[in-house]
Chain A
Amino acid sequence: MISRLETTDVLVIGGGLAGERCAIEAAAAGQEAMILSLVPPRRSHSCAAQGGMQAALANCVKAEGDSPLVHFLDTVRGSDWGADQEVANIFAEEAPNAVRELAHFGVPWSRVRGGRNHYFIKGEAVDIDEALENDGLIGQRDFGGTAKWRACYAAAGTGHAALYAVDSEVVRLGVTVRDRTEAMSLIHDGSRCLGAVVRCLRTGKLFAVMAKCTVIATGGYGRIYGQYTSNATINEGTGAAIALDTGVVPLGNMEAVQFHPTTLSPSGILVTEGCRGDGGYLLDKNLERFMVEAEPEKQELASRDVVSRHMAQRMRDGKGVDSPYGRHLWLDIRHLGEKHLRTKLLEVWDICRDFAGLNPAEALIPVRPTQHYSMGGVRVNKDGESYGLAGLFAVGEAACWDMHGFNRLGGNSLAETLVSGRLVGSRVAEEASGMSLRADTGLAFDAIAAAERRAAHWSARTGSGRSVYDIRDAMGEIMMHKVGIFRNGDELEEAVTGLQQLLDDCDNAVLRCKDPGVNPELGFALRLKGMLRLAMTVALGAKARTESRGAHFRTDFSSRNDKDWMNRTLVRWADDESAPTFSYEPTGLIDLPPGHRGYGSDDRIEMTGTVESYNDTVQAEQAAHGRIPSAEAMGSRLRRGAWKAVAT
């Protein structure tokens, strides 16, 4: 039986890897933690991460010379210089420990086999002798956009194994998990977050949880792309949406949306980058390996945004394979052999069998790029604390921390969930232990009442309005086709107009289900407006950013522009305002000066001032945009110039 008002020290909204790791840290520090999760935590979308987790362990021959500094360089370059470099450095330094900690929690990492190993590298079969003294250490495989083999993995179920191990820890510590609950709004007084209003997805009843600190860990917003996403049905961006609703918490870089090169056509189910890491090729309809010519150096293992654009272009050039569901290309992993496919890529084997009816040892896999990851999210400082509301934190894909900038490297998000989960959990525990709970019941009951009015409004509305599912589908079509892999000003304008129409339609949409209890149609309706508002921030952010950086590619502004756009988009939009407010803050302290990523030609528009003069403005400007001071001074964890020792 749930009462109307509950309290805890730390409220974590979202039971995936980032949220659970955060709750573990808070609980281990003696704070009472409560996790809210849409689904039993082991069903969270973290379980879908397949191929690997990046950490510079350097245990195999092709990883020799790797270090957190090389990982830092890959991450910043991969981000197209959109990342906060201090955060990228913290991340790269702590990732190896996150992998080892997971081994301690029970993840059965694939291990180095000392002696002769057979690999496929850039299309060639290669035999490499792994050092016997490294036998049994955690192994690495190749992934896109990295200088070294760095992705630690458990077959192709890395996220699953990690999530089960971390959830085991949650059970061991006795952390309270309320599964089948959904946060509907944040309770706050304009300067501090005091908890959340929650809908029980077993009964449909609303209640409030008041906490000293609240953590948003709800994952990405891929479902604003409708069916054009590899994301689970539960990745609807709820956490970002309720933060946006406050009007005081900004979201960062919402236009930074990743498209994964290889998702199964037409279902959009992910086929891991590990396939290409282990030696798989992309082929067009003439069975030509087009990536060799397009990117001779990295070939299929160029950054995801680069590969996705080449694939989309190849299909535009008439080299795609026609099917009743649109065009696709081929992924070829036949040469890796059945034994490898049924051990190190087992989940790919299963997915090909179950969802395409094919045997990947014998047949080509139909693939096409699809929305995959949200680099944008709730903007936070390096401690994970949001801008604008003290006591509100965000972590993992829901956050814009921001180590990914405009393009995330494969395997970096899994590592981020564990690294940032621990770090933010520790900061949250510190803050919570120094204060007492402020159970402002008046604010809480007001917030519950407001949420109940929203629900009642939906239920009471009658007439001939559009169905909520119809609006959802229209949103997905707009987002994929006008705010997708290739963007331009005219289509983005059309997208904004279309989304505004959908927002109006949403205000007049009518529910057909009046059942008491869970009412799945009402549940979706309560999320729909938030999804549309997120979609609008993506479209408007993309329209305003007149340059191309990472996954944000403008055909009408095809160069990266460091002169005008070395900054992060921030957007605020209270739920009672008709339009959002955009502003731009400096990306963060620069250590590695902006340079060429190494793909295509170098047509960047360079910064006009010096890095030093840029760095002089960062602290004050970010503070002016609402940045809450971090526990340690800005820049304290930037190892200035250390990368010079490893740069190539």
Chain B
Amino acid sequence: MKDSGNTETRRLRFEIFRFNPEDANSEPHTDVFEIDETPFMSLYIALNVIRETLDPGLQFDFACRSAICGSCGMMVNGRPALACRTLTSDLPENIQLYPLPVFKLIGDLSVDTGTWFRGMAERTEAWIHERLPFDPEAQEERMSDDIAEAIYEGDRCIECGCCVASCGVANVDPEFLAGAGLNRVARFMMDPRDNRSDEEWFDVVAGEQGVFGCVGMMACADVCPKELPLLEVYAYLRRRTLGARFVARSDADQV
């Protein structure tokens, strides 16, 4: 296990964004809380200490507390991160916590990622467009393990929203698919079970809200807690999309 290091206890100073939209008297502001650091203290532990001992009204979201459910994305010293796996020992004594931008604020550090991701899934029809209905009598269709591993790599996104919050385009265009949306499209595009044609994919991904809306700042890849290879994902999408266009043009030329 990681050595807990020096024996001197740090006093942590949290500056936390506060706003309760349900309270007519609430104005956006920040509150400051001070607590003693304990060994292996994560922001999950720290925020619960603050809520349970200092301010019981503080709103934030955690569920799995093991970096797999994606509930606890927030701005940690200006950078989107999963709070549950952020250790205070990796942070300075002064810690600023803000809610993720782009998503609608529910209160304090809690934002509505569910609505954004459901909307994205509906717009991109993020499900397998299958050839035939499920046949309970049939053996499963074969797939090579290499392809299964490649799809799984894209499937690992936990929809925490950190990439969306970090994206310059998503911050001004709420319809932009951003890292998580584009990754999801690529995941289905490479899945041999999805029978959408390149032309159909073109409509999903080629517009301003798709891969060509990306201006290439790549903060998404820097902040992704799952370290998804987003640069490669966008390159794949561009290649497939441009390929589809050229094929379609040359087909049209021959008519």
Contacts and interface: CB of A to CB of B under 8 A. Distances in A.
A263 B110 CA distance: 28
B67 A324 contact: no
A592 interface: no
A626 B188 CA distance: 47
A168 B113 contact: no
- Give the size range of B's interface with the partner: 35 or more
B67 A356 contact: no
B171 interface: no
A234 B63 contact: yes
Contacts of A45: 63-64, 69
B68 interface: yes
B69 A43 contact: yes
B105 to A, nearest CB: 10
B58 interface: yes
A204 B71 CA distance: 19
A515 B110 CA distance: 16
Nearest to B110: A518
B252 interface: no
Interface string B142-183: 111101110110011011000000000000000000000000
Given A47-B64, A106-B191, A515 B23 contact: yes
A93 to B, nearest CB: 11
Contacts of B12: none
Contacts of B136: 97, 100-101
Interface string A32-63: 00000011111111011000000001000000
A232 B155 contact: no
Contacts of B121: 168, 171
Nearest to A113: B145
Contacts of A105: 127-128
A269 interface: yes
A109 interface: yes
Contacts of B193: 103-104, 106
Contacts of A202: 106, 112
A42 B155 contact: no
A463 interface: no
Contact of B85 (A106, A343, A354, A513): A354
B12 to A, nearest CB: 19
Interface in B101-131: 106-107, 110, 112-115, 117-118, 121-122, 125-128, 130
A43 B63 CA distance: 7
Interface in A290-346: 323-324, 343, 346
Interface stretch (B49-57, B91-99, B206-214, B229-237): B49-57
Nearest to B133: A104
B62 interface: yes
Interface string A255-297: 0000000000011011000000000000000000000000000
Given A48-B64, A351-B66, A137 B22 contact: no
A180 B114 contact: yes
A135 B56 contact: no
B127 A108 contact: no
Given A100-B140, A517-B21, A161 B155 contact: yes
B141 interface: yes
Contacts of B130: 104
Interface in B55-87: 55-59, 61-71, 85
Among A42, A135, A511, A516, chain B packs the most CB atoms within 10 A around the CB of A42
B145 A518 contact: no
Contact of B128 (A106, A233, A347): A106
A157 B156 contact: yes
Interface string A106-134: 10111111000000000000000000000
Given A101-B136, A519-B57, A521-B56, A203 B148 contact: no
B159 A42 contact: yes
Contacts of A324: 4, 39
Contact of A516 (B22, B40, B149, B156): B22
Nearest to A172: B127
Interface in A77-101: 97, 99-101
Nearest to B118: A171
Contacts of B246: none
B23 A39 contact: no
Contacts of B226: 350
Contacts of A160: 68, 155-156, 158
A40 B112 CA distance: 9
A516 B142 contact: no
A234 B71 CA distance: 11
A512 interface: yes
Nearest to A470: B52
A270 B69 CA distance: 13
B127 A517 contact: no
B106 A518 contact: yes
A86 to B, nearest CB: 21
A180 B118 CA distance: 14
Contacts of B55: 513
B139 interface: yes
A257 B38 CA distance: 31
A399 B240 CA distance: 46
Contact of A513 (B56, B63, B106): B56
B22 A204 contact: yes
A414 to B, nearest CB: 14
A357 to B, nearest CB: 3
A160 B112 CA distance: 20
Contacts of A517: 20-23, 107
Given A101-B134, A171-B122, A512-B56, A112 B66 contact: no
B215 interface: no
A505 interface: no
A138 interface: yes
B1 interface: yes
B239 interface: no
A164 interface: yes
A232 B1 CA distance: 23
Contacts of B52: 467, 469
Nearest to A350: B67
A518 B1 contact: no
B29 interface: no
A234 B63 CA distance: 6
Contact of A520 (B58, B67, B118): B58
Contact of A157 (B40, B114, B152, B191): B152
Nearest to B71: A43
B127 A136 contact: no
Given A42-B70, A168-B128, A111 B148 contact: yes
Contact of B145 (A110, A169, A171, A204): A110
A108 B22 contact: no
Contact of B141 (A103, A343, A518): A103
B10 to A, nearest CB: 17
A354 B51 CA distance: 24
A99 B55 CA distance: 46
A356 B2 contact: yes
Contact of A343 (B61, B112, B149, B155): B149
Given A104-B134, A106-B194, 7 more contacts: A106-B127, A136-B144, A157-B156, A233-B63, A356-B1, A511-B56, A517-B22
**Closest 5 pairs (CB-CB, A-B):** A517-B22, A357-B2, A40-B114, A136-B142, A168-B127
Interface of B: 1-2, 4, 20-23, 39-40, 51-52, 55-59, 61-71, 85, 106-107, 110, 112-115, 117-118, 121-122, 125-128, 130, 134, 136, 138-145, 147-149, 151-152, 155-156, 158-159, 188, 191, 193-194, 226
13 contacts: A42-B159, A45-B64, A47-B68, A48-B68, A57-B140, A104-B134, A106-B194, A160-B155, A357-B1, A469-B52, A518-B59, A521-B51, A521-B57
